[in-house]
Every structure is written in structure tokens, then in C-alpha cells.
Amino acid sequence: MPVTDEITLPFIDPTIKGQLLDKGIISFSFAPQIVFGYGCLNRVGFLSLFLKTKNAFIVTDSEIEKLGFVNKVQKYLELSGIKSNVFNEIEPNPQEETVIKGAKEFKSTNSDTVIAIGGGSVLDSAKIIRLLVKQGGKPSDYNCKTSTIMAVHEMLPLQISIPTTSGTGSEVSIVAMVTSGHEKVTILGYPLISTIALVDPKLTMSCPPNLTAMCGMDALTHAIEAFISLRINPVADMFSLQAITLIYQNLKKAYLNGQDVIARINMSLAATVAGMAFNQKSVGLVHACSHQLSGQCNLPHGLANAIILPHVLRVNKKVSMSQYVTLATALGLDLTKLSDDEASERFILEIEKLNKEIGIPEKLAECGVKESDIAAMIPNATSDISAITNPLQPVTKEMVESVYRAAL
């Protein structure tokens, strides 16, 4: 422990692999500038001028390009006298080869700033492209399981992140994920944070109902897992509570009517705010299990979270009951005459009800996951970095297996 003049401080040991716990020190970080508002995409040229961008590298996927958003970004950049190149090859659950290719193109086009427009896969890939441009190597070299948070240490090219879904929170976080073979690689590093998060709810209006549902449940999982995480951060908890309430009140509305502007605005806000919460407190066993379902069975991240969430909430109930009661109260559930145990169950049932109302399948088997898939996922889920902050410890193989089996 380092000793200062007056107090002895616990500290993050950057030499320990996967170290996340800060033993009492509270820090707070997210994208240094967040621009939020319906229609604010038209600020992208103006904001790029602030970053002294001359040649932007737009990272996206072909679906987003078809929606015309990339053309709009290029038009706004042009109006500000800024050139741009488009890399549209990011796929769902992107492979590391794609990201390596993106880094090569960034260099070969002499780009200076990344502008990422898309869902979580796009935003995460863009962050990793900047890392490879500056520090070289391949994404798995920076896997937080085998490396340390200090591996990402250089000042990276600047990035404007523009989410087109309400879910990931990647626009404000230090986390980026990519797939290597069947394994999800998590990279952590403060330099990965976007320079500017440009959050325009208008871009989510065309998001189809099933994607709206999955992404919304990802955001809800971020907010809940951050709230019950082992880490202590009362500021982040305020963000979690706000996000959970907004999602509870608006996700079903946005799912049923994608043109509900108010519901879309609230969901965009909730997703970003939930990102600001989990960026401080991390997530837990839901994400530890869902990462493997995406890596091995190619399940969309939000869908895997949504199905796993109630089962993990039940596993964690014995240590998180008081937080569940706080959350149930925030949702305005009628808890009259209920014990804490009953109120907690009421909260979990409400999550299950929401899942049902927005068309989330109840079981993993309905999404093609087989019993024979479980064994291979258990070790990776148990050692997943998200498991470190799960409130119930230690996270054992038996615990993980019980979650997968209950959700199957």
C-alpha cells in the first residue's frame, strides 16, 4: 500500500491481470463530452472542427450505410471542409481480423479521426481500430484476461461515437469487445474512451422492434448489474436508478411503436446513462454468461442478457435483496405487506413480465442453444472479467452451470 503524508491509500495494482477492484477509492470517468438531443447528428461537422479533423475515418456496417446515416455524416463533414473515408465491414459479433483490416485502412487512407456510427459492435470495433493504429499488434494481445489495464497506455487517435441503437453504452465506456475464434476478447483502457459521444435518438427511430427489445434489455442489464456490483460508487448508483426507471417506463412503448419519439428519446438517454453507471462499477454474472453465448452460439448480446438476467437475479438474491427492494420501489411496484424476500421476487417477476411483453424468448433452447453447448462455456464464464464484480462470490463453475441450465 502506498503511504501519503496523511492517509494510507489502497490502490489499483496495474500489474495484476484483470484487476478491476479499487478497494474503496471512487473514481468517475466517461466520454469527456456528451452531446445529446433529437437531431443532433447535424453537429458532427462542427464537433469535428473542434477536434481539428481533416480526414475522418467513418467506421460502420453495411446495414447502417443503407439507412443513409453515413451519407448524412459525410455531407455534414463536407460542409465543414472535412474529407472522409468509409469502412463499412463491421459484422455482428465482429471477428478480430475485421478490426485489423480496419486499422490498416485507417493508416493507408491517412485518416486522423475515427467517427463510429452504429451499434455496440461498430463502436467497440472503432475503439480497437484506434488502439491497433497507435500500438500495433492484434486485439487478443490486449485481452484483459492475459494482459493488464496498463496494456492500453498510449494517447489514441480521437473518436466521435454515434450510437444508432439504445443499448450498449459503448459511446461512454472504457470497454471494447471483439471475437477471436469462438472467444470473446474484452479490452479495457481509459484511452479507449470516445472523445465525444454524439447521441441522437432520431437515429434509433428506424430500429426494428426485436432489436429495440434486445438492446433495451442490454441497457437494463447494465444498469441493474452495475447497481448490485461489488464495487462501491454512489454517483454511479444514481445513474443506474435513473436508467432503470426510464427503461421500465419506455422500453415497451418503443417496442410497440417505434415512432414514439418520447419513448425513443428516453431510451437513448437511459442507455447512455446506464453506460455511465457500468463504466464505473462494471457488470456481473449475467454478462459473464452472455459473453460465451455470443462467442460460442452467436447469440446477439442483448438477447443473451435478457434471457439470463432473471436467473442470475435469483442466484444473487441472497446477497442483493436490499438493492432489489430499492429497485422495486424505484419502479413504483406495490410492495405493501411484502417481506424483502417477496418484494425481491416481485422485482424479478416484473423483469420476466417485461421480457415477455417485448417478445424475448423465455429459454435459450428457443434460440438454438443446445445442452451440449453448456460444458464448453462454463470455464470461460467462470473466469470472465465480468464475474469479478458479481455480488455473490466466489463465482463457481457450479453456479455458472446452474444459471445456464435454468435458462436452457
- Tell the smallest beta-carbon distance from residue 305 to Fe ion (Å): 6
Q: Which residue is nearest to Fe ion (CB)?
A: 218
3-state SS of the chain?
CCECCCCECCCCCCCCCCCCCCCCCCCCCCCCEEEECCCHHHHHHHHHHHCCCCEEEEECEHHHHHCCHHHHHHHHHHHCCCEEEEECECCCCCEHHHHHHHHHHHHHCCCCEEEEEECHHHHHHHHHHHHHHHHCCCHHHHCCCCCCHHHCCCCCCEEEEEECCCCCCHHHCCEEEEEECCEEEEEECHHHCCCEEEECHHHHCCCCHHHHHHHHHHHHHHHHHHHHCCCCCHHHHHHHHHHHHHHHHHHHHHHHCCCCHHHHHHHHHHHHHHHHHHHHHCCCHHHHHHHHHHHHHCCCHHHHHHHHHHHHHHHHHHHHHHHHHHHHHHCCCCCCCCCHHHHHHHHHHHHHHHHHHCCCCCCHHHHCCCHHHHHHHHHHHHCCHHHHHCCCCCCCHHHHHHHHHHHC
- Tell the smallest beta-carbon distance from residue 2 to Fe ion (Å): 34
- Tell the smallest beta-carbon distance from residue 304 to Fe ion (Å): 9
- Tell the smallest beta-carbon distance from residue 336 to Fe ion (Å): 34
Of 159 and 305, nearer to Fe ion (C-beta) is: 305
Of 74 and 125, nearer to Fe ion (C-beta) is: 125
- Tell the smallest beta-carbon distance from residue 218 to Fe ion (Å): 5
Q: Answer yes or no: are the C-beta atoms of 270 and 247 closer than 8 Å.
A: yes
Of 133 and 385, nearer to Fe ion (C-beta) is: 385
- CA distance readout (Å), 264 to 74, 221, 269, 377: 24, 18, 9, 35
Residues 6+ apart with CB under 8 A from 376: 296
- Tell the smallest beta-carbon distance from residue 168 to Fe ion (Å): 6
Of 177 and 378, nearer to Fe ion (C-beta) is: 177
d(CA 247, CA 166): 10
- Tell the smallest beta-carbon distance from residue 171 to Fe ion (Å): 13
Q: Which residue, chain included where needed, has cell 483490416?
A: 101
Of 61 and 218, nearer to Fe ion (C-beta) is: 218
**Contact residues: Fe ion, CB under 5 A:** 218
As given in the structure block, the three cell numbers for residue 47 are 464537433
Of 124 and 218, nearer to Fe ion (C-beta) is: 218
- Tell the smallest beta-carbon distance from residue 275 to Fe ion (Å): 9
User: Could you tell me the maximum CA-CA distance found in the chain, to the nearest angstrom?
Assistant: 66
- Tell the smallest beta-carbon distance from residue 170 to Fe ion (Å): 9
- Tell the smallest beta-carbon distance from residue 224 to Fe ion (Å): 11
